[in-house]
Structure formats: structure tokens, C-alpha cells
Amino acid sequence: MAEVIQCPSCHKKLRVPENLIGKNVKCPSCGSTFLAEAGEEDLPTAPVIEERPAPSPQRRRPPVEEEYEE
């Protein structure tokens, strides 16, 4: 069952899956990131976007130089 919480920035009511309670989430309306805490009431609302850490940059291998025999 989803919890209903309110974005602290834009005050829009959002439906958040229980597995995201206690985690940082992103409001789909204003883009604000905040900690999802146990909700207020059951109302039809917009779904929330889970905030995920940015992927770490991948290291590139230096180009392989081919050796030619003459």
C-alpha cells in the first residue's frame, strides 16, 4: 500500500510506495528532493520518483598500440 505525503517545497500531495518511506525521493512536480516520511491520508495523487545516486564515471582504457614486424 502506498503512503500519501506532501512535498515540503510545493506542497503537492504524492503517493509513495512503502519501500521508499525513509529514503530520499524527488517530487515529480517541482523536482525537489526530500526524505519521504510516513504519510498523512489516502488521496489520489501523483507518483513520486525515487532519487538514485548518479552513476560513477567509467574509466576508459588507453588505446592499444599495435606493434608491426617488418
Q: Is residue 70 part of a domain?
A: no
Low-confidence ranges of the chain (pLDDT < 70): 39-57, 59-70
What are the pLDDT digits (tens) for 7-17? 999 999 998 89
Q: Can you tell me the distance from the alpha carbon of 67 to that of 63, in angstroms, rounded to the nearest whole number?
A: 13
pLDDT for res 2:
81
Domain range for 42: 2-50
pTM for the structure as a whole: 0.53
Q: Is residue 43 part of a domain?
A: yes
Give residue 17's identity as a one-letter amino acid code: P
Domain tally, the chain: 1
Residues 6+ apart with CB under 8 A from 12: 6, 27, 29, 30, 45, 46
